[in-house]
Structure 1
Amino acid sequence: MADGLAAGGVGTAHARPCTVDPMGLLADLVADGEVVVLSGAGLSTESGIPDYRGVNGRLRRSQPMTYQTFIGSAAARRRYWARSHLGWRHMAEARPNAGHHAVAELQRRGLVAGIITQNVDGLHQAAGARDVIELHGSLSRVRCLGCGERTPREVLDRRLREANPGWTARAGAVNPDGDVELSDEEIAGFRVVDCASCGGVLKPDVVFFGENVPRDRVAACLELAERAGLLLVLGSSLAVMSGYRLVRHAADHGIPIAIINQGPTRGDAHALVTIDARLGSALPRLLARLDAAW
């Protein structure tokens, strides 16, 4: 896909066409360093993890679990854990793609000052990135709503296997939040386990739809955004307020913003550069431009 560009003053209400080379302009901005990356689901689609709102998004076909539903219904928790028990295996097998590796390489070169991800898949870290702020948490951990204890997902996976030795459900389509489609009959035969320490309700250590991001995490992200030399948005439509808030915050502080995403985003009007492209090809091209300049 050909790169597209919309350029204008930072924080302007309307972007306007520009004739400069967008990838070249982005390379110049990144070369100055102090880049803060904000990544979304579009960065992980090339690793086999679908998104809700992208080109092939499933938001209309699969409604994600909400915090209120999970907390309020034992039946909903059984449905979630049955579906997630199978879907977790798919997520655990996912591997970082060229886009993740490019972000890690930019950090290794000292150009990236911080990485904030809306993703819950851990692929930034698997690619070698350090000190990643997981805005929406991680599916690799489980939290007890009673005592607050956090345990590795592998521990829960083992306990669920032991509690459901004869359960033979097969995974259908994998959803963006790591669960799969299952029939009511398959879900009804699934047994949920509780916290091994206190017997409390277990929840994945992620921020569900309808749940607030912890305040200290939000504060850390806002501080990164306002100290950035460039806020680089990768693979996010910015439809969720937790991500869009960071773009608006950066714009309010006069921080230049660049966006690479397939399709338009809610933050385009604030961006100095927008590139419509797949991350797995665009980010290696960015590295090549930086190499050529050096």
Structure 2
Amino acid sequence: MRMRPTLSWTPTGDLPPGTVDLGPVTEALRAGGVLVLSGAGISTESGIPDYRGEHGSLSRHTPMTYQEFTASARARRRYWGRSHLGWRTFGRARPNHGHRALAAFERHGLIAGVITQNVDGLHQAAGSEGVVELHGSLERVVCLSCHDRSPRRELARRLEEANPDFEPTAAAINPDGDADLTDEQVGHFHVVPCTVCGGVLKPDVVFFGESVPPSRVEECRRLVREAASLLVLGSSLTVMSGLRFVRQAAEAQKPVLIINRDPTRGDQHAVTRVELPLGAALTSVAERLEIPPDGAVA
């Protein structure tokens, strides 16, 4: 039986200073039972931008809300035109050293699961199996009428056929797979309906202004209850969907550890916040734990 990490937890409310010391993270993983909460920062090294931070996309891009998407055919045309172009780039992203290190930790029985706020599927592509996609996945689409779910690649094929001359140039690609295009660039984009009932298709992700399904939240709360500690990777914890699990862990007096280059909304609950690039940090931890780079179990 693995012992819980011997990390101190003092609910003083004081913010821990940023550090480059990976010792507490290494020891928590060595003890096992670590639940990971990942955010957009773990995917930046795969070429997918972050929402926040110095170069975050929110400084120039406002994601479409659920209310806007469902209320307006024009908004849906704008969304799908931008998302279709973004998917071409987004779909080419590959797991980085951070994703692969987490998959290796899982294979060695060190982590209890991954809750990811990301919609890019890169944890699974790296080999992680115990992943809860808190905000859904861009790999799927769902019909708002009949609730049929289908692969995004199939929708991409249909959109290609319906828009053979759609070749605009995007200013940037955002963390939700949305490309920065003008209204003029998407003005003649043709949206296709659900093949089952003819209804409106939506990516199977939680939009801004939309709630995470209660059953998914409860699954995550269960994982927090059963974990020995919580490791936050690449998330500012600005939105409550992720911060609530940090608060839950802290209230249960379970150590919260954070690796993020910038301060986060959860720092007051953390025993440490490491200010290092995630790929390098997790690779270093793997080396300290003598886990082979390829993730194979020795």
For the aligned pair, the TM-score class normalised by the smaller chain equals: over 0.9
Separation in structure 1 between the aligned mates of residue 269 and residue 166 of structure 2, nearest angstrom: 50
Which residue of the partner structure matches residue 103 of structure 1?
102
Amino acid in the other structure paired with 1:197: V
Q: Shift of residue 211 of structure 1?
A: 0.3
Cα 1:10/1:37, change in 2 over 3 Å: farther
In the TM superposition, what whole-angstrom CA distance separates every residue of 1:219-240 from its partner, at most 9, and x where no partner exists? 0001101211110000000001
Q: CA separation of 1:54/1:258 partners in 2, compared to 1, >3 Å: closer, same or farther?
A: same
Aligned to 1:12: 12
Alignment RMSD (CA, Å): 1.8
Q: Secondary structure at the match of 1:288?
A: helix
Contact map agreement 2:8 2:255 (CA 8 A) in 1: no
Which residue number in structure 1 is paired with residue 163 of structure 2? 164
Whole-angstrom distance in 2 between the partners of 1:16 and 1:244 = 17
Which AA in structure 2 matches 1:88? W
Kindly state the Cα deviation for residue 185 of structure 1 after the two structures are TM-superposed: 2.0
The one-letter code of the counterpart of 2:231 is L
- Once residues 15 and 263 of structure 1 are traced to their aligned partners in structure 2, the CA distance between those partners, rounded to angstroms, is 13
Greater shift, 272-281 or 283-292, is seen at: 283-292
For residue 273 of structure 2, what is the aligned residue in structure 1? 274
User: What's the secondary structure of 1:22's corresponding residue?
Assistant: coil
Distance 1:36 1:75, change over 3 A: same
Are residue 132 (structure 1) and residue 128 (structure 2) matched?
no
Cα deviation, residue 179, structure 1 = 1.1
Q: Which residue of 2 aligns with 1:214?
A: 213
**Structure 1 residues 244-253 or 171-180, which shifts more?**
171-180
Q: What does residue 153 of structure 1 align with?
A: 152
Q: Which residue of 1 aligns with 2:200?
A: 201
Q: Report the residue type matching 2:105 in the other structure.
A: L
Quick one: structure 1 residues 166 and 26, their matched pair in 2 at CA, closer, same or farther if it must change by over 3 Å? closer
Deviates more, 1:159-168 or 1:192-201: 159-168
- Give distance in 1, aligned partners of 2:138 and 2:12: 37
CA contact (8 A) 1:43 1:100 kept: yes
Deviation, structure 1 residue 131: 2.4
* Aligned counterparts of 1:252 and 1:17: Cα–Cα separation in 2: 21
Answer yes or no: is the 8 Å Cα contact 2:16–2:273 preserved in 1: no
Indicate whether 1:118 and 2:125 are aligned: no
Give the structure-1-normalised TM-score.
0.93
Distance 1:193 1:143 in 2: 13
Q: 1:19-58 maps to which residues of 2 (within 5 A)?
A: 22-58=21-57
Measure how far apart 1:25 and its partner are.
2.1
How many angstroms apart in 1 are the aligned matches of 2:11 and 2:238?
17
Partner SS state of residue 205, structure 1: strand
The CA distance in 2 between the partners of 1:253 and 1:122, in whole Å, is 30
CA displacement at 1:57 relative to structure 2: 0.5
Relative distance call for 1:75 and 1:126 in structure 2 (3 A) is same
Quick one: which amino acid aligns to residue 12 of structure 2? T
8 Å CA contact 1:8–1:16 kept in 2: the answer is no
**Cα 1:192/1:246, change in 2 over 3 Å:** same
Percent identity over the alignment is 58
Larger mean CA deviation between 154-163 and 169-178 belongs to 169-178
Gaps of 5+ in 2: 1-6, 292-297
Q: CA deviation at 1:172?
A: 2.7
TM-score normalized with structure 2 length: 0.92
Decide whether the 8 Å contact of 2:18 with 2:275 is kept in 1: no
| Distance in 1, Cα, partners of 2:70 & 2:143 | 12
CA contact (8 A) 1:10 1:271 kept: no
Gaps of 5+ in 1: 1-6
Which residue of structure 2 lines up, in the alignment, with residue 187 of structure 1? 186
